[in-house]
Chains A and B, each alone.
Chain A
Amino acid sequence: MPFTRFVEIGRVAMVSYGPEHGKLVVISDVVDQNRAVIDRPDEIRRVMPFKRLILTDFKCEMTRLAKKKELSAALEESGAFEKFAKSAWGQKLAKRKAKANLSDFERYQAMKKKQTRSKEISKVAESMQ
């Protein structure tokens, strides 16, 4: 199986460590073997080591060290952030976040739903035996 996710200008990556972990960024330039310049439309462009980045499947077409305007335009055209949110990985993250934000009452409702579902399943399983 060949590699499919490459470090390249415009590659969308997720920050996996540090205060901004969980955020999607775009690789704007490569400094050396270990570091890249990453950028986001709403944040300052800065250097980050590759060890803190996880590459995604998505990229956008942009030039090296593009200005914010060009970056935003490129991201919109490629729809990279939206595509990521729709991907299996993105959906998993969204589910986890939703679960963490459940209120006490919502947790109770989820528990009840799970119980009724399990009951139905076990009923069917019983009838099949």
Chain B
Amino acid sequence: MARAVARLRRACRSKTYHRRGLWAIKKKNGGKFPQHEKKAKNEPAVQKPPKFYPADDTPHPKTRRKVVAAAKLRASITPGTILIILAGRFKGKRVVFLRQLPSGLLLVTGPFAVNGVPLRRVNQAYVIATSTKTDISKVDASKFDDAYFVPAEKKRQKKKGEEEFFEGDKEKKSLPSEYIENQKTVDSALTAGLSEDLKGYLSTRFSLKSNDRPHLLKF
């Protein structure tokens, strides 16, 4: 209690003035506190009133301040980690993680020869990272970027217009051979390092069994 009182006494305005040496600064400056020159205010430009006011208020979009950055990669996901895809066509499939693309999506592959998952982009949120890791040092994943996947994904999304509906199914456009070649290269580099066990593991889909409690499962 006494200490608090002493502390308060020391912190009072006059004591602080003396302790900080403000009296010395004043003395140096001829009895006044030094002040910097006030910046000359620029006269604001004269704005002429507009000649025309629209009848209705035009809607203005609100300024967007949100910056969308690539999602931060979970610490459990490192190159070579085996992931379990949870949604989409390949749900339940176990795949090998290659790298995170600039958009934030994860580049994965089955390998295609093992479980039919091609080089593909996957969102981190729809993935469980297992603790199993494989060696992907032989794989050159840097040549695949977001633009590589855009034509393949656009093809899927195109909805049929009326004309096209009546024309019937067009011939299936096969993927350019470049994609198939790339897949083969990546596959061969990957499967060389996989044990038989791992290959069997990757070719099996994950599913929950009766006795599994997801919150207690360790991946």
Q: B residues within 8 A CB of A108?
A: 200-201, 204
Q: How many residues of A contact B (CB 8 A)?
A: 9
**B-side contacts of A104, CB under 8 Å:** 82, 84, 94, 130-132, 206, 217-219
**Which A residues are CB-close (under 8 A) to B201?**
105, 108-109
Query: Chain A residues near B132 (CB, 8 Å)?
Result: 103-105
Q: How many B residues touch the partner, as a band?
A: 10 to 19
Interface of chain B residues 130 through 180 with chain A (CB within 8 A)? 130-132
Q: Is there contact, CB below 8 Å, between A103 and B200? A: no
Identify B218's interface contact among A103, A109, A112, CB under 8 A: A103
Closest A residue to B197 by CB, please name it: A109
* A109 contact set on B, CB distance < 8 A: 197, 201
Q: Is the CB of A105 within 8 A of B218?
A: no
CA distance A81 to B50 in the complex (A): 90
Contact status B218-A102, CB under 8 Å: yes
CA distance A103 to B131 in the complex (A): 7
Task: Determine if A88 is an interface residue (Cβ-Cβ < 8 Å).
Answer: no
Q: Does A101 contact B (CB under 8 A)?
A: yes
A100 touching B216 by the CB < 8 A rule? Answer: yes
Q: Kindly report which residue of chain B lies nearest to residue A108, judged by CB atoms.
A: B201
Contacts of B198 in A (CB 8 A): 105
For residue B218, which residues in chain A have a CB less than 8 angstroms away from its CB? 100-104
- Do B204 and A105 touch across chains, with their CB atoms under 8 A apart? no
Within A70-129, the residues touching B (CB, 8 Å) are 100-105, 108-109, 112
Q: Of residues B197, B204, B218, which shows the largest number of chain A Cβ atoms within 10 Å of its Cβ?
A: B218
A102 CB contacts on chain B under 8 angstroms: 218
Complex Cα distance, B217 from A105, in Å, reads 12
CB distance from A96 to the nearest CB of B (A): 12
- The answer to whether B200 and A105 have CB atoms under 8 Å apart is no
Closest to B133 in A: A105
Contact A112 B206 (CB under 8 A): no
Taken together as a complex, chains A and B put the C-alpha atoms of A108 and B92 apart, in Å, by 14
B residues 192-206 with Cβ under 8 Å of A? 197-198, 200-201, 204, 206
The residues of B that contact A112 with a CB separation of less than 8 Å are 197, 200
A109→B197 CA distance, assembly (Å): 7
B 207-219 to A, binary, CB cutoff 8 A, 1 in contact else 0:
0000000001111
Residues of the A chain whose Cβ atoms lie less than 8 Å from the Cβ of B82: 104-105
Which chain B residues numbered 80 to 106 have a C-beta less than 8 Å away from chain A? 82, 84, 94
Give chain A residues whose Cβ lies under 8 Å from the Cβ of B204: 108
A97 to chain B, nearest CB (A): 11
CA distance A108 to B131 in the complex (A): 13
Chain A residues proximal to chain B, CB less than 8 Å = 100-105, 108-109, 112
If A103-B130, A103-B219, A104-B130 are given as contacts, then 19 extra A-B residue pairs at C-beta distance below 8 Å, sorted by A number, are A101-B218, A102-B218, A103-B132, A103-B218, A104-B82, A104-B84, A104-B94, A104-B132, A104-B206, A104-B217, A105-B130, A105-B131, A105-B132, A105-B197, A105-B198, A105-B201, A108-B200, A108-B201, A108-B204
7 cross-chain pairs, A with B, having the tightest CB-CB distances, nearest first: A105-B132, A104-B130, A104-B219, A103-B131, A108-B201, A105-B201, A101-B218
12 CB < 8 A contacts A-B? A103-B130, A103-B132, A104-B82, A104-B206, A104-B217, A104-B219, A105-B132, A105-B197, A108-B200, A108-B201, A112-B197, A112-B200
